[in-house]
């Protein structure tokens, strides 16, 4: 996330981003619930029921926070005012297709603001675990779950790897400590292009 970005954080792992803003970097966080310029999550004992993020987690108040109607929050998304959305995913394809709103085998799902963000945010980063609870790859050749957006994801960050979506395929840029490119490939469906500067 770059200095000055307006960023929307999805439910789950993405909400943790607000806890890790580097010193001196100015990030303006936005939520569909109608809050702009929020900070980290509230400390235990300092929770305010009126101050939550998209995941319902309590936020710490910060100077400059603003509050407004949810319709205005969606107008910001649909108007192209969100620089980056960090979203969770059930599946991401090698072309950057995103599926994150429904598990067909369970017949449950809620589109929420994900479809608006997939279409309206200038950049989509997916933050998720690399495999599902059964150990199946979530980075796939083709999404088998219903799409949220086609070709909208530019970067995939998992617990074991960072991959950039390129026109040639998925570029493996980073691996977690103790992991090799081969280890990551073994739990990834599409063939990965290993960066010459792999970190």
Kindly list the catalytic residues: 32
DSSP string across 38-105: E-SBPPTT---TT-B-TTS-BB---TT-EE--HHHHHHHHHTT--SEEEE--SEEETT--EE-SEETT
Q: Is 37 exposed, middle or buried (0-12, 13-18, 19+ CB in 10 A)?
A: middle
- Asked if 17 contacts 9 with a C-beta cutoff of 8 angstroms, the reply is yes
**CB atoms closer than 10 angstroms to residue 81:** 15
CB atoms within 10 A of CB 51: 19
């Amino acid at each position: 996330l770059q200095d000055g970005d307006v960023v929307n954080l999805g439910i789950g792992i993405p909400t943790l981003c607000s806890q890790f803003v580097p010193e001196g970097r100015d990030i303006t966080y936005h939520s569909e619930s109608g809050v702009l310029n929020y900070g980290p999550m509230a400390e235990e004992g300092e929770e305010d029921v009126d101050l939550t993020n998209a995941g319902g987690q309590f936020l710490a108040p910060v100077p400059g926070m603003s509050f407004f109607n949810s319709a205005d929050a969606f107008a910001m998304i649909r108007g192209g005012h969100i620089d980056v959305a960090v979203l969770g995913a059930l599946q991401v394809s090698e072309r950057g297709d995103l599926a994150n709103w429904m598990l067909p085998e369970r017949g449950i799902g809620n589109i929420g603001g994900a479809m608006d963000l997939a279409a309206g945010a200038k950049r989509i980063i997916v933050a998720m675990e690399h495999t599902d609870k059964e150990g199946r790859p979530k980075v796939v050749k083709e999404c088998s779950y219903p799409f949220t957006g086609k070709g909208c994801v530019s970067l995939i960050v998992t617990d074991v790897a960072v991959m950039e979506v390129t026109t040639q395929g998925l570029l493996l840029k980073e691996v977690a400590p103790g992991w090799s490119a081969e280890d990551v490939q073994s739990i990834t469906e599409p063939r990965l292009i290993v960066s010459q500067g792999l970190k």
